[in-house]
Chain A
């Protein structure tokens, strides 16, 4: 087991480093654009930034809030990244997140009589499975019928959210049925506080554990190797005898599970009970997180930190600098545009270099 960790992580190569650098540059560019936008709509961008940084890192409480917002983003970022590594586009993180939250809530509320040492892991497992099975539907439809997961996952999002709406207003509503919310999960299923005086909870630690597992799976396990080969070159995978259908099912299951954990942890650590709108769009944020992080474990944590800080600092910014906190999501969209554009420009530049090299070679010949 030790060797797993000590082997140098060189598998990324130089090209990876260059991409990360380009992503970073693009992010900085998008942030500058965001500040310009704040200025354009009539606010002082510098006081906005100061307020935001203060709100995200200025105090213990602020930092705790950043960790709280980071946690689901790490999970949804990994969810999108895992599917991407297998050549799939999982846009269903939002729905998987909700189904995970629902399954976790149900287990947390209705299973009783267990000690915390059993109840909490069981609830988390249920959260994972809730999202995983929801993701598996899209995988199965793709393998069995060839239905594009891009569309099915988007459709499954809305179905999941409608279903939650029904459950919270109907079968699972807290008696006597005045507020549309469920009962609180039992204390044995709640995630303990991580830093006292803040809302940061152990869900963050679980997220980091899963980042390590994510890395172990993709870069150290045989199955993860198969997934990456199939994601990069489907015909090479076939020529090596890799069973690609099975991997699609597995990856959609795991990706769904990761998104499910985002929802489940949010319930067990913050909300305590299920309400119809537990996610302010963490699912779609996962795309940006994974793009910034170039689908790598470390990059995803950095991406989640960035957007977690945005979300945490956004409120402070709104109160102090009067800048609407929705601007944070505007910046996020700008980051996605800038990162994909920069990666395409990098590709074009590489291609250009390659052509130049070939031309030189042929002249020598």
Chain B
């Protein structure tokens, strides 16, 4: 029974830790299926994490924080879209600059808004929402049904996104843009509008992931607090083969590092924690080398489209 409880505990932690990566991955997925490769999730999450704290601080509600964070994400998405879709600039370079901007702007604004003192400003944060009855199920009850609302949203987004991408007409149209914008164009789909929408909505979902870091896992903002999760999300999309469920599994595997290290320490195996943090990245490289020869990614990913 003890062991089962421990497992339940690990599962609880894993699900909670996976949620922000999952959100970021789903946001990236939307962009990828429109043919855009955005490596700027890290920066988008950072500015969102700060915006969430600011919103929560000034409006007194964590939901206002989330709203402000998603607004900030939308602005970053719009910036990316203007440069890469309209001006057809190199998506990788713009994504890298988005990361630089997110890190530096969040740091700057944090110091301006909350000062440079060592004491952090704490704000209203998400509360656990226990679902009656279900949360009492042994072992998994707490893990699945005693989480914060945003965790439920993240995991509910998986089937929603899957349904949207693979079962609806707008989803099919979006995928056709990512696979072959010229074909989509001749069939009457507005490629640029599709890419703008995917980028802005995708960035808002990524931003929700960032907001969860500062107002869900914690209740304050620290500099560079995303700590590579934006890159892990990028990895999760590739490892998850561009499918929502795949991204969910990847996020849970990648974030299980904490759990694994606990288990290993208990078992007395001396694998340092730092090696465990490498796992997502190594798995992604392995996945890339295996999938690269097969078509898994949308065929036009990363290539700018020019009409006519």
Do A and B have CB atoms closer than 8 angstroms in the complex? yes
Kindly report which residue of chain B lies nearest to residue A323, judged by CB atoms: B108
Interface residue A287 (Cβ < 8 Å from any Cβ of B): yes
| Chain B residues within 8 Å of A146, by CB | 292-293
1/0 contact string of A340-356 vs chain B (CB within 8 Å)? 11011100000000000
* In-complex Cβ contact of A287 among B89, B96, B281 (8 A): B96
Closest Cβ of chain A to B238, distance in Å, is: 7
| Chain B residues within 8 Å of A329, by CB | 100-101, 103-104, 107
Given known pairs A162-B275, A326-B111, A341-B87, the reply for A145 and B101 (CB within 8 Å) is no
| Chain B residues within 8 Å of A74, by CB | none
Kindly report which residue of chain B lies nearest to residue A291, judged by CB atoms: B93
1/0 contact string of B59-96 vs chain A (CB within 8 Å)? 00000000000000000000100010001111011101
| Chain B residues within 8 Å of A103, by CB | none
Interface residue B128 (Cβ < 8 Å from any Cβ of A): no
Given known pairs A166-B272, A324-B108, A324-B112, the reply for A158 and B281 (CB within 8 Å) is yes
Complex contact A332–B285 (CB within 8 A): no
| Chain A residues within 8 Å of B277, by CB | 158, 162
- Segment of B136-144, B164-172, B177-185, B227-235 engaged in the interface with chain A: B227-235
CA–CA, A91 and B302, complex, Å:
15
Given known pairs A91-B39, A287-B93, A333-B98, the reply for A159 and B289 (CB within 8 Å) is no
Interface residue B203 (Cβ < 8 Å from any Cβ of A): no
Given known pairs A41-B109, A152-B285, A330-B105, the reply for A345 and B87 (CB within 8 Å) is yes
Kindly report which residue of chain A lies nearest to residue B103, judged by CB atoms: A329
| Chain A residues within 8 Å of B272, by CB | 166, 169-170
Interface residue A155 (Cβ < 8 Å from any Cβ of B): yes
Complex contact A159–B111 (CB within 8 A): no
Kindly report which residue of chain B lies nearest to residue A40, judged by CB atoms: B112
Complex contact A158–B100 (CB within 8 A): no
| Chain A residues within 8 Å of B93, by CB | 89, 287, 291, 336, 340
Complex contact A156–B289 (CB within 8 A): no
| Chain B residues within 8 Å of A91, by CB | 39, 92, 96
Interface residue A148 (Cβ < 8 Å from any Cβ of B): yes
1/0 contact string of B224-265 vs chain A (CB within 8 Å)? 000010010011001000000000000000000000000000
Complex contact A141–B104 (CB within 8 A): no
Interface residue B274 (Cβ < 8 Å from any Cβ of A): yes
Complex contact A163–B278 (CB within 8 A): yes
| Chain A residues within 8 Å of B228, by CB | 158
Closest Cβ of chain B to A340, distance in Å, is: 4
Given known pairs A91-B92, A333-B101, the reply for A326 and B108 (CB within 8 Å) is yes
Closest Cβ of chain B to A4, distance in Å, is: 32
CA–CA, A179 and B207, complex, Å:
36
Which chain A residues numbered 189 to 227 have a C-beta less than 8 Å away from chain B? none
| Chain B residues within 8 Å of A121, by CB | none
Complex contact B278–A287 (CB within 8 A): no
Complex contact B112–A159 (CB within 8 A): no
Interface residue B288 (Cβ < 8 Å from any Cβ of A): yes
CA–CA, A285 and B126, complex, Å:
36
A-B contact count (CB 8 A): 138
Complex contact A332–B284 (CB within 8 A): no
| Chain B residues within 8 Å of A332, by CB | 100, 104
Interface residue A115 (Cβ < 8 Å from any Cβ of B): no
| Chain B residues within 8 Å of A41, by CB | 108-109, 112
CA–CA, A166 and B37, complex, Å:
31
Interface residue B176 (Cβ < 8 Å from any Cβ of A): no
CA–CA, A332 and B105, complex, Å:
11
Which chain B residues numbered 134 to 167 have a C-beta less than 8 Å away from chain A? none
Which chain A residues numbered 116 to 156 have a C-beta less than 8 Å away from chain B? 141, 144-148, 150-152, 154-156
Closest Cβ of chain A to B215, distance in Å, is: 22
* In-complex Cβ contact of A148 among B112, B231, B292 (8 A): B292
Given known pairs A281-B100, A326-B104, A329-B104, the reply for A145 and B234 (CB within 8 Å) is no
Kindly report which residue of chain A lies nearest to residue B80, judged by CB atoms: A337
Kindly report which residue of chain B lies nearest to residue A287, judged by CB atoms: B96
| Chain A residues within 8 Å of B275, by CB | 162, 166
Complex contact A340–B89 (CB within 8 A): yes
Interface residue A327 (Cβ < 8 Å from any Cβ of B): yes
| Chain A residues within 8 Å of B293, by CB | 145-146
* In-complex Cβ contact of A151 among B79, B90, B98, B234 (8 A): B234
Kindly report which residue of chain B lies nearest to residue A351, judged by CB atoms: B306
Interface residue A175 (Cβ < 8 Å from any Cβ of B): no
Closest Cβ of chain A to B25, distance in Å, is: 14
Interface residue A42 (Cβ < 8 Å from any Cβ of B): yes
CA–CA, A141 and B235, complex, Å:
16
8 contacts between A and B (CB under 8 A): A41-B109, A155-B285, A165-B274, A166-B272, A324-B111, A326-B104, A333-B101, A337-B83
Instruction: Apart from A89-B93, A284-B100, list 10 A-B contacts with CB within 8 A.
Output: A147-B289, A148-B292, A158-B277, A159-B281, A162-B278, A163-B278, A326-B103, A326-B108, A336-B93, A344-B88
Nearest first, the 9 closest Cβ-Cβ pairs linking A and B are: A329-B104, A333-B101, A326-B107, A336-B97, A166-B274, A145-B289, A340-B89, A155-B281, A344-B87
